[in-house]
Amino acid sequence: MRKFTLAVLGLLIFSCAPKSSNEENTLSQISDPEVMKFAIAGKTLYENYCGNCHQSDGKGLGKLIPPLRDADYFKESVHRTVWIIRHGQKGEITVNGEKYNQAMPANPNLKPLEIAQISTYLYNIWGMNEGVITSSTVEEYLRTAPENY
């Protein structure tokens, strides 16, 4: 019985251990404490508002929803990303050579701080290192549509 209990305990410990791959444990890439504060809140907000479609790994949903992870369209402009989070997007876009034409709904109830937290999270994982995207920067970006929108 003791061996069985130890085996079960070992399995529980192993299954609860943090994932070591960068794909699964994206916060582990962040070393700056200020960025981490924003990113922790941003990860939760991303999972609640964005992850359903873009997926928790950022790889999107097949040919329907574009990826964010390793996406040229996403990496090209923080300003555009902030604008799209708040105002949504309609019409065809090209991401990594693939065409997408699924509307993204607006999130008008997200506060600038929440958009800053989501953006900070996204732009500091998957090999990116943009640092803190502040709520004042988000407020500035929301005043005018980006040129490449």
pLDDT over 90 (residue 7)? no
Give the total number of structural domains in the chain. 1
Torsion of CA 102, 83, 74, 111, to 10 degrees: -100
User: Residue 104: which CATH number?
Assistant: 1.10.760.10
The range of the structural domain enclosing residue 134 comes to: 30-143
Instruction: Return mean pLDDT, the chain.
Output: 87
Residue 11 lies in a domain: no
Distance CA 94, CA 125 (A): 22
Residue 23 lies in a domain: no
Residue 17 lies in a domain: no
Torsion of CA 111, 113, 118, 121, to 10 degrees: 180
Tens digits of per-residue pLDDT, 15-69?
Answer: 444 344 444 557 888 999 999 999 999 999 999 999 999 999 999 999 999 999 9
Type of residue at 60: G
